[in-house]
Amino acid sequence: MVNRAQRRLLPPSGLIAMTASDRQSHWQTVYQTKGEQQVSWSQADPQPSLGLIESIAPDRDAAIIDVGGGASRLVDALLASGFHDLTVLDLSEAALASARERIGAAGAAVRWIADDATVWQPQQAFDIWHDRAAFHFLVEETDRMAYLDRLHRGVRAGGHAVIGTFALDGPEKCSGLPVERYDPATLSRTIGPAFELIAEVPHRHVTPWGATQSFQFSVLRRK
C-alpha cells in the first residue's frame, strides 16, 4: 500500500518515484545482463548525433560531453573525427567499462564519469552538451529541474545542447521505464529561455531487431 508520504512522490504514470540510486541500479543491471544487440537504443552509426555535433562544433578542440552516453559508439566516432576533449557521463559503470574496453588505448584521452546527471556537479562549461535518450527518462518535475540546473551550468555562453528524445508518436516506455515524449517546441519550453532552438531533426531509429522508433533531435544555443 502507498502511504501518504509516498503518494506525494508518485509521478504522472502512477509508479513510485525512482531515486538516483534506483536509476543507477536499473541501468547497471541492464548493461551487465544484455549485449549491444539486445538493447533497443544500439546504433552502429551514431546519427544524427555525429552530424549535428560536427555541424555546430567551432573546431576539433571543442569540449564535448555525452550525457547518458553509456556504451554508445558516439565517442568512438568523435575520436575518429578528430575531437579530443571528450567526456562521457553515465549512471552505469558497466556501460562505461564496455565502451572503454571497445575503444582501447584511445579511450585513455576520454573522461569517463559514472554519475547521475541529476546529482553530478559540472566542473567546467562545455561547448557541446549531447544527450540521446537520457533526458526523456526524467518523468518527474524535480528530476527534470535538477538536470536542467546542470545543463545551464554546464554549457558556456554561445555553446550548444543537442538533445534527442522520443517524439510525440514515439514509445511511451523504454527498458520497462516510462518516458516523457517531446516535440521541439515543448522541449524548448521545458529547457527555458536561456537556450534558443536553432535546429530540429526528426529521426526514425531502427532497433537491432527491426522495430522503428520515432525520435526528435533539437539543437539549442546557449544565449
Low-confidence stretches of the chain (pLDDT < 50) are 1-15
Domain count, the chain: 1
Q: What is the pLDDT of residue 29?
A: 81
Task: List the CATH number of the domain containing 123.
Answer: 3.40.50.150
Q: Which three cell numbers stand for residue 39?
A: 538493447
Q: What is the pLDDT of residue 42?
A: 84
Q: Which three cell numbers stand for residue 96?
A: 562505461
Residue 1 lies in a domain: no
pTM of the shown model: 0.88
> What's the CA gap between 70 and 96, in Å, rounded?
6
* Domain limits for position 150: 15-222
What pLDDT digit, counting tens, does each position of 45-83 carry? 999 999 999 999 989 999 999 999 988 999 999 999 999
> What's the CA gap between 151 and 161, in Å, rounded?
8
Residue 8 lies in a domain: no
